[in-house]
Structure 1
Amino acid sequence: MAMTITAYAVFKLGDRQVKLVTVEKTSPSLPPFPLLVATPVEGSGIFPVILFVHGYLLRNTFYSELIQHIASHGYIVISPQFAGCDANADCESTGEVIKWLSSSGGMSTFLPSGVGGDMTKLTIAGHSRGGKVAFGVAQGDVITRFTTTNAKISAVIGIDPVDGMSRDRQTEPRILTFKPNSITVNAPVMVVGCGLSDEKKNPFFPPCAPEGVNHRDFFAECRSPAWYFVVKNYGHLDMLDDDTKGFKGIATYYLCKNGNGREPMRRFVGGLIVAFLNYQLGGDSGDFEDLQNNPETCPVILSEVSFR
């Protein structure tokens, strides 16, 4: 089957120049948590906002190449840095960040002149336990308690989400109930799974996304409309940057089963998010339909593509 050019294009960098900004909490007027922001810089415009929650004990800087890929296609991607030890706290903290971003002086403190974020087209996304947090924020009362009326969750994305170590060792808040259609999110949902994430890297560590509380279970409980993509030969941390610094960064290569290099998985996740949001937020379904119908256009092999 011939390769479709449109779907292939989302896996390349977009045509917008991108700036990576670090925003520290140094005064009451700045965000409640440190932020890593990837934003378009050329020209003026208002762009949809993606709030991206990092995985358990990871650094938001480990996702810098992924979020820059997404931003180059016309999105503002904001990744807060949390302590990462308590998912309940991360849900609350995510609400605080959304409230600050929704305030009149929020995003203007770090966005380039002439660039603005559209909080009525807000996507909550997250990786690993950050994916669990994304679902927790979207289906809980966090938004109504923390945000102004102009903030609206328009899409939810879980990248290899995990809800604890096993069915009897979930972390709070428990998202999975093991009942079909029990995740009540009032927005389109996409779940991306890694085919190797439920396999052990070595005998000393458990799988990073154990069977029973991983991507398959999240998709099984999502209500329609929901999309599901499983990448065959890549692992739980393969969408991170190649160069992840420090002890935590080195550990990312030894804790989870890995595929053959991170770059293809990173391009796939970035391009898939762009295609999904172009469809959900902009009404342009071409790229998303192309890559579903012609998976050979993807830089990775997909073992499952589902929709309901």
Structure 2
Amino acid sequence: MATVEVKERKTVSMAVDPSTVFETGKFEVTSITVKTGIFSASKPLFIFTPTNPGSYPVILFLHGFCCMGSFYSDLLNLIASHGYVIALPQLYVMPTTSEMQEIKSASEVIGWLPSGLDPLLPTNVKGDISKLSLVGHSRGGKTAFSLALGYGRPSLPFSAVIGIDPVAGTKCFQPEPHILNPISDPFNISAPITVIGTGLGPMSASPVTCPCAPKGFNHVAFFKKCKPTCAHFVTVDYGHMDILNDNPPGITGLFTNIACKNGKGPRELMRKCCSGLVIASLKAFVENDESFLNAIYVDPSIAPVDLNPVVLIYKATSSP
């Protein structure tokens, strides 16, 4: 019967500097804006893709509450430059929709990917749908976990699930689905999981605002329900919206800047850190190269911002 093993902090021997996951990758990247109805797309999309010919794993990225997809362009260009095709659907704009409708819309996009994605990509570039991962920020993180749990009946399996400061509600408002209840029951998710949290997410930006990632409904609660293989990283000095571009435009962008407690350090470092953790996780979980993720676990100081805690738990091999 399989058992759980906690990865020991052993020296990792690598031919490549592990800190390279936190920098721009080797692939040239282009971004594509897709309107609803193009190749039967059910939602507007932003696509970030390498231009170099090849087949690349696909990421479905799910935006956070009150966020426009364009607010994530700096982060997603970094990730795509390491050899990933990213589809980011704009699932709704303010005023918001229900979370169940958001999940349904995301599932429709998943059903569209096999036929709709490749025709939009550069010549000789293909998205490998057999290596499809879910990455979601904030409420989009909850949507990612919900899809992985089978809500919305997604038509494709997932190779990995990554939540960036996922949020499932507040003490006063807990919308369906109630995926954190009961907290003692682990998620029934077979894919490996990484949860990235923020140290400032549970703090209020002002005396009249609420925390954007409140205790009991944030990354800590999500990770408590994760089964191996899983990882947990917390960026101590940064806040819930610090993965966004520096100055998102418009009233919506202004709202994202003032609604949540922000870190004092440059957002560029937070974006580099989160992109690197996503890339290292996907290399381990999708491409079977654990060296980068292990190296970060062994020496978190290679990340551009402070990480604490750092947890990495692998599922042990089964024995008779």
TM range (shorter): over 0.9
Tell me by how many angstroms 1:181 deviates.
4.2
The correspondence of residues 1-308 of structure 1 with structure 2, limited to 5 A, is 6-27=17-38, 29-42=39-52, 44-83=53-92, 84-103=96-115, 106-142=116-152, 145-147=153-155, 151-166=156-171, 169-260=173-264, 261-308=266-313
**1:70-108: CA deviation from partner (whole Å, max 9, x where unpaired):** 0000000111001143111111111100101123xx112
In structure 2, give the amino acid aligned to 1:88: M
Instruction: Measure, in 2, the Cα distance between the counterparts of 1:157 and 1:93.
Output: 19
Over 6 Å off, 4+ runs: none
| TM-score, normalising length: structure 2 | 0.89
Distance 2:150 2:154 in 1: 11
| Alpha-carbon distance in 2 for matches of 1:17, 1:72 | 6
User: Given residue 173 of structure 2, which amino acid in structure 1 is its aligned partner?
Assistant: R
DSSP-derived class of the 2:310 partner: strand
**Identity over the aligned pairs, expressed in percent?**
40
Contact 1:57–1:85 (CA under 8 A) maintained in structure 2: no
Q: Cα distance, 1:306 vs. partner? A: 1.2
* C-alpha displacement of 1:45: 1.1
Alpha-carbon distance in structure 1 between the residues aligned to 2:218 and 2:118:
37
For 1:167-202, what per-residue CA distance to the aligned partner results, in whole angstroms no more than 9, with x for missing partners?
x53111111014334211110000000000000100
1:220-247 superposed Cα distances (whole Å, 9 cap, x missing partner) = 0112211100111000000001121111
- The secondary structure found in structure 2 opposite 1:117 is strand
Amino acid paired to 2:292: D
Q: Counterpart of 1:193 in 2: which secondary structure?
A: strand
Q: Deviations over 1:249-292 (max 9, x none)?
A: 11211110011221111000001111110111111111111111
Q: Do the aligned partners of 2:103 and 2:151 also contact (CA within 8 Å) in 1?
A: no
Aligned-partner SS, 2:248: coil
Measure, in 2, the Cα distance between the counterparts of 1:267 and 1:125.
Answer: 16
Distance 1:178 1:146 in 2: 23
* In structure 2, C-alpha distance between the alignment counterparts of 1:7 and 1:175, rounded to whole Å: 35
Is the contact between residue 8 and residue 298 of structure 1 (CA under 8 Å) also seen in structure 2? Answer: yes
**Whole-angstrom distance in 1 between the partners of 2:166 and 2:304:** 21
Q: Which amino acid in 1 is paired with 2:308?
A: S
Q: Which runs of 5+ in 2 are unaligned?
A: 1-10, 314-320
Unmatched runs of 5 consecutive residues or more in structure 1: none
Q: Is the 8 A contact 2:272 2:304 kept in 1?
A: yes
Q: Is the 8 A contact 1:6 1:290 kept in 2?
A: no
Superposed CA RMSD: 1.8
Partner secondary structure for residue 258 of structure 2: coil
Secondary structure of 1:229 counterpart: strand
Look up the equivalent residue of 1:171 and give its one-letter code. P
Asked if 1 retains the 8 angstrom alpha-carbon contact of 2:66 and 2:256, the reply is no
Structure 1 length as normaliser, TM-score?
0.93
1:6: Cα distance to partner?
2.1
Letter in 1 for 2:148: A
**Do the aligned partners of 2:212 and 2:240 also contact (CA within 8 Å) in 1?**
yes
Report SS of the residue matched to 1:85.
Answer: coil
1:102–1:119 contact (8 Å) kept in structure 2: yes
Supply the distance in 1 between the matched residues of 2:182 and 2:305 (Cα, whole angstroms): 30
